[in-house]
Amino acid sequence: MNTLVADSTPDARIREILLLGRRLVRDLAVCARTSRLYEGENVTVRRAAAQAVETLDALRAAGGEPRLEIVGEHLRIGDTRLKPDAAGHHAFRYLARRLAAIGAGAVSFSPSLSAADLIGFAKLIDPPGPARETTLSELRDALATAGIQAITVEAARDLIPVTAPREEKGAVLARASGRYFRAIRVAREILGRREPVSRIFASSKRAVRELVDSVREEETSLLALARIKNYDEYTFNHSVNVAVYSIALGQMLGLDRRSLTELGLSALFHDLGKTAIPREVLNRPGRLDAEDWEMMKLHPVFGVEQLLSAGITSRGMMRSVLVAFRHHLRRDLSGYPEVRHHRDLDLFSGIVSVADTFDALTTRRVYRRSCLLPHEAVGRMLARGPDTYEPALVKMFLRTVGVFPVGSVVRFDSGEVGIVSRTNRTEGMLARPRVRLLADGRGLPLDGPEIDLAESDARGNPLRKLVATIDPADYFPSIDDYLRSLV
């Protein structure tokens, strides 16, 4: 059985940092939770604090930054997003929520840190009793009063929490929208005007870096924009959407910023070889005949030739070459182009293959007027079996976009219509997102409110039942109307 292997996976140092980061979160959570119940001399509290100090020392030795960043309900060490294992899920959520409630955006630990410092810090972020939440300024004052100088707490970054004011959400969406449509313009230069790669490589990399920054800042905005399906400019939208989905999945997997940029660039260039295919073949309605299909199957080879002709030999470009060649190969190498020697599929090609198929299946095409709903597309990909896609990647992709992705328009059994504003990644809750109502049961427009489908009645039944999805293109008169509905 093939596996995703080394040439595009994070190196050993990154894996060690990820492992140490998870251990640090677990130790800090145990320390905070236990110190809420016991005094500092409790053996469990002391052990957890001592282990956290040892972990921080090991993290520095591995080249990691001893700084824990809070982004929503996610945690990062430096540029590396930490992904909890099954046993650590609750520790991650607890620590992220406690720090976010205080208003902390990051916590840094200096080499002089002691176990006693950590115990004091733990008691401050989750004080015993029913006291009100500690504010960031109160926490900083308390650390200074206690003489704890080895811990620095930074204010939260400009994020877009569920309860953020609408003007704040609008500002974040506006940034993401500008970056998305700039990437579309770059894709049009590459695939429409068919500019040489050497001429547009720098602008392509800038566009991808902006997409990475938006995903890292607040990924739901870009994922909503990826729901835009421009029938007349499918090729350009598709390349950017595949980049967005790939970057979001890469972030879920814990890739750092440089790797996410290389992944996004590989995704943006994945169909570059189609510029060598006649437009009448690309846009032909109906099934291609045997001759045209054989030509279409050569576009990965054409893509490799065009990328190599740029004369750029960076690591990112070499990964783009691999993805351009392999994104249709399938995991068992039964796809195209035909290869003579067995090679395991690399991580980037596996990610882009999943993102490419998902966007294609959920988009109307010149030869296919109907398309699948997102959860139907993921179901079809899983049904194709492990020989086509890496099952773990498909399942992680479903967690990334949700059963009903942000920007999906949905109808309830009450007749109400809403737009998905945030997915729910809790195990067993993927089909219960947050939804902002757009119309009541009579079809009259509403300006909110936002409802959480995870909420249940006393018997555990959902308060609303989602019965159908609606193509945003069929519901909104224009893209501007769609974008306004997301704020």
pLDDT digits (tens, 9 = 90+) for 416-444: 999 998 887 766 778 888 899 999 988 88
Confidence (pLDDT) at 307: 92
88 has pLDDT over 60: yes
Same domain, 230 and 363: yes
Residue 478 CA to residue 460 CA, distance in Å, equals 39
Same domain, 391 and 339: yes
Q: What is the DSSP letter of 462?
A: B
166 has pLDDT over 80: no
Within-domain flag for 404 = no
Residue that finishes a domain, picked among 399, 422, 439: 399
Tell me the average pLDDT across 450-467.
83
Same domain, 249 and 116: no
Confidence (pLDDT) at 233: 66
Confidence (pLDDT) at 211: 95
Q: CATH code at 207?
A: 1.10.3210.10
pLDDT band at residue 237, thresholds of 50, 70 and 90? confident
Within-domain flag for 161 = no
Within-domain flag for 1 = no
Same domain, 13 and 104: yes
pLDDT band at residue 64, thresholds of 50, 70 and 90? confident
Tell me the average pLDDT across 401-429.
86
Within-domain flag for 160 = no
Same domain, 437 and 390: no
Confidence (pLDDT) at 39: 54
Residue that finishes a domain, picked among 349, 373, 399: 399
Most confident of 73-87, 262-276, 399-413, 438-452: 262-276
Confidence (pLDDT) at 168: 64
Q: Nearest-CA neighbor of 253 among 401, 82, 59?
A: 82
Within-domain flag for 478 = yes
Same domain, 107 and 189: no
Confidence (pLDDT) at 73: 65
pLDDT band at residue 465, thresholds of 50, 70 and 90? confident
pLDDT band at residue 395, thresholds of 50, 70 and 90? confident
Tell me the average pLDDT across 98-105.
83
Same domain, 133 and 210: no
pLDDT band at residue 254, thresholds of 50, 70 and 90? confident
pLDDT digits (tens, 9 = 90+) for 342-393: 677 889 999 999 999 999 998 876 555 677 878 788 889 989 988 889 888 9
Instruction: Look at 74-88, 266-280, 310-324 and tell me which has the smallest mean pLDDT.
Output: 74-88
Same domain, 91 and 178: no
Within-domain flag for 339 = yes
Domain count within the chain: 3
What's the domain range around 42? 6-155
pLDDT band at residue 470, thresholds of 50, 70 and 90? confident
In the sheet with 434-439, reading across from the earlier edge strand, the strands are: 450-452, 434-439, 417-422, 409-412, 466-470
Residue 48 CA to residue 34 CA, distance in Å, equals 9
Q: Mean pLDDT across the chain, nearest whole number?
A: 82
Confidence (pLDDT) at 9: 42
pLDDT digits (tens, 9 = 90+) for 112-147: 899 999 988 988 888 765 555 677 878 888 898 889
Same domain, 347 and 421: no
324 has pLDDT over 70: yes
Tell me the average pLDDT across 198-223.
87
Confidence (pLDDT) at 114: 92
pLDDT digits (tens, 9 = 90+) for 184-193: 999 988 887 6
Same domain, 227 and 361: yes
Residue that finishes a domain, picked among 342, 364, 399: 399
pLDDT band at residue 8, thresholds of 50, 70 and 90? very low
Residue 357 structure tokens: 């198929």
Same domain, 33 and 151: yes
Confidence (pLDDT) at 269: 95
The torsion defined by the Cα of 410, 415, 418 and 423, in degrees rounded to 10, comes to -50
Q: Nearest-CA neighbor of 451 among 427, 468, 465, 434?
A: 434
Cβ atoms 456, 462 nearer than 8 A: yes
165 has pLDDT over 60: no
322 has pLDDT over 90: yes
Tell me the average pLDDT across 396-412.
88
CB atoms closer than 10 angstroms to residue 413: 11
Confidence (pLDDT) at 305: 93
Confidence (pLDDT) at 151: 92
Within-domain flag for 359 = yes
Same domain, 251 and 230: yes
Higher per-residue confidence, 22 vs 158: 22
What DSSP string runs through 282-322? HT-SSPPPHHHHHHHTTHHHHHHHHHHHTT---HHHHHHHH
Instruction: Look at 2-6, 34-38, 219-223, 303-307 and tell me which has the smallest mean pLDDT.
Output: 2-6
